[in-house]
Amino acid sequence: MSELIHLHYDVDGEDFVSCGHASEDVRRTLKSIGISGEVIRKVSIAMYEGEINMVIHADGGVADVSICEDGIVVTLSDTGKGIADIDQAMQEGFSTATDEIRELGFGAGMGLPNMKKYSDSMDIKSEVGKGTVVTLKFNL
Amino acid sequence: MTVRQIAEILDAEILCCEELADSVNIHSACGSDMMSDVLAYVKDQGMLLTGLVNPQVVRTAEMMDMCCVAFVRGKRPDAAIIQLAQSKNIILLTTQERMYPACGKLYKAGLDAGKPI
């Protein structure tokens, strides 16, 4: 599929307050090009969860969004501590987030399951000590 | 019901976007202090009641297409959070009510819990 728009964002791992800027911008862009509300909602929620995860677990990272005629691909890459057991991380309720993060309203162990639920396909590649790449695809 | 009616039921102060309070209609709502749960379990609710105060509450509401957030237990967001909500046309309320009675009063007045997902 040929790419129509490519968006790139640096997600600052130190800044919980501004976390979500990338998802906000993607949401605006998708609205401006007439993507359906349901797709915008799915992309925004999944990407926002990804951004939050990068800030909570990986000191930030980068997000790339590729908008094509027949789909949207969101790639979230970090060089954080990685995920030791992806199957375990995919279980609803499993979380390694600190109490401090829970006090901010996140870390209930719903991030990755939610990203899978809202995307049409999800791929996770992770290596402990090196980082994680999550690729989300959404059909148009 | 309109946000204005909701504000009256909760005896709430409208913190921003008051000009929308008579025109925005809310049909269902949810209450939670965990944004993770809001993102995972909520669908088609127009309003969030929460005791959590940080900018991610407003961002979560935006991602979920919500038009109103009510802060319970007298919680009051700072100017930056109010400005963020204003930029997204999300109406913010603050009420002294605790979560349970706030949700109960709105439910009794006809605001339901929306569709489960």
In a domain, B114, yes or no: no
In a domain, B116, yes or no: no
The answer to whether B87 faces chain A, any CB pair under 8 Å, is no
CATH at B73: 3.40.1390.20
| Range of the structural domain that residue B87 is part of | 3-108
pLDDT under 50: residue ranges of chain A: none
In a domain, B44, yes or no: yes
CB contact under 8 A, A27 and B55: no
Q: Considering its fold, how many domains does chain B have in total?
A: 1
In a domain, B72, yes or no: yes
Spatial neighbors of B12 by CB under 8 A, at least 6 apart, are: B6, B70, B93, B94, B95, B97
Q: Distance from CA of residue B9 to its chain's centroid?
A: 13
Amino acid sitting at position A91: Q
In a domain, B53, yes or no: yes
Q: Which residue of A has its CA nearest to B35?
A: A105
CB contact under 8 A, A17 and B54: yes
Write the DSSP assignment of A70-124 as a string of letters. Answer: SEEEEEEEE-SS--S-HHHHTSTT-----HHHHHTT--SS-HHHHHHHHSSEEEE
By annotation, the residues of A acting in catalysis are 49, 53, 102
Cα maximum dimension of chain A: 44
In a domain, B89, yes or no: yes
* Interface with B, mutate which of A19, A24, A27 (most B CBs under 10 A): A24
Question: Which candidate, B6, B15, B30, B22, places its Cα nearest to that of B117?
Answer: B30
What pLDDT sits at residue B113?
77
In a domain, B85, yes or no: yes
- ipTM of the modeled complex: 0.86
Going along chain A from its start, the domains and CATH numbers come out as 3-139 (3.30.565.10)
In a domain, B50, yes or no: yes
Per-residue pLDDT of chain B (117 residues; tens, 9 = 90+): 999 999 999 999 999 999 999 999 999 999 999 998 899 887 778 999 999 999 999 999 999 999 999 999 999 999 999 999 999 999 999 999 999 999 999 999 999 877 655
